[in-house]
Amino acid sequence: MKFYDSKGLPNPDRVRIALAEKGALDQVEIVQVNLWKGEHRTVEFKIKNPSVTIPLFELDNGIAISETTAITEFIDHHFEGIPLTGIGAQERAMVHMMQRRGEQKIVDAIGAYFHHATPGFGAEIEINQNREWGELHKLKTLEGMAYFDQVLTTQPYVAGENFSMADITVFTGLNFSEAYPKVMVPADCKALQAWRKRISERPSCDFVKETNIQTL
Ligand SMILES: N[C@@H](CCC(=O)N[C@@H](CS)C(=O)NCC(=O)O)C(=O)O
């Protein structure tokens, strides 16, 4: 199995953490792809993933799985270990609902700010920038942080009582937000800060401390 990764970016980091939670990092071949150099825009890669995004998971039988949530579902069901996508109808629904909110309110929002209001992946890749749209999404990211702060005042994890892929999504989104576009989690988001510290202490998240985002 191959995992096409780009360390320090939120969606591939979601896969890395999911694999680490399952103790399965050593069971995949990791291929680093430098998005700043446009290494995902080759004809060969587009055939594997027409969406031209990382992460991508390639099975030994040649099947290519893109979309981080789909890859996480595969990892959760293929490898032993703690459940990441919930158990039972209600919990699975809550995990999917909250992880989607994590994508919309944090990962995708900070992504839009990064692509439109910062140099993003560089002039050759960011050819359709709209600064106003980007700035709007910086505000959306901050609203998302306030939303998850409120959620975490009443429950220990993003989707409820148990750690899940919803936590992974929000965690990686916040890390990226602070590391590169420098949109910081506000100090008054105390529940979110405390939750983030707890999640960062999980062994699966250790790599975040030494990650330097690849750039040109
Ligand atoms: N919906 C996709 C989004 C993946 C995505 O946007 N990945 C970013 C890195 S975090 C990417 O590959 N961007 C490439 C580009 O913008 O050219 C998923 O869930 O995997």
Annotate 58-67 with b (16+ C-beta within 10 A) or e (fewer): beeeeeebbe
Ligand 1 pocket test: pick from 39, 40, 53, 68 the residue with the most ligand atoms within 8 Å of its Cβ: 53
Residue 107 pLDDT exceeds 60: yes
Q: List, for residues 38-84, the tens digit of each pLDDT value.
A: 999 999 999 999 999 999 999 999 999 999 999 999 999 999 999 99
pTM: 0.96
Residue 215 pLDDT exceeds 90: no
Measured CA to CA, the distance from residue 172 to residue 175 in angstroms comes to 5
Residue 136 pLDDT exceeds 90: yes
Q: How large is the average pLDDT for residues 184-202? A: 96
Distance 54 CA to ligand 1 centre (A): 5
Measured CA to CA, the distance from residue 102 to residue 200 in angstroms comes to 17
78 three-state secondary structure: helix
Q: Which fold has domain 2-78?
A: Glutaredoxin (3.40.30)
Residue nearest to atom 11 of ligand 1 (CA): 53
Q: List, for residues 149-167, the tens digit of each pLDDT value.
A: 999 999 999 999 999 999 9
Q: What is the pLDDT of residue 69?
A: 98
Order across the sheet with 29-32: list the strands: 29-32, 2-5, 56-58, 64-66
Residue nearest to atom 13 of ligand 1 (CA): 53
Q: Please report, for the chain, the start and end positions of each structural domain, with discontinuous segments joined by +.
A: 2-78, 88-203
Q: Which fold has domain 88-203?
A: Glutathione S-transferase Yfyf (Class Pi); Chain A, domain 2 (1.20.1050)
Distance 53 CA to ligand 1 centre (A): 4
Which CA distances in Å does 164 have to 43, 64, 94? 35, 24, 10
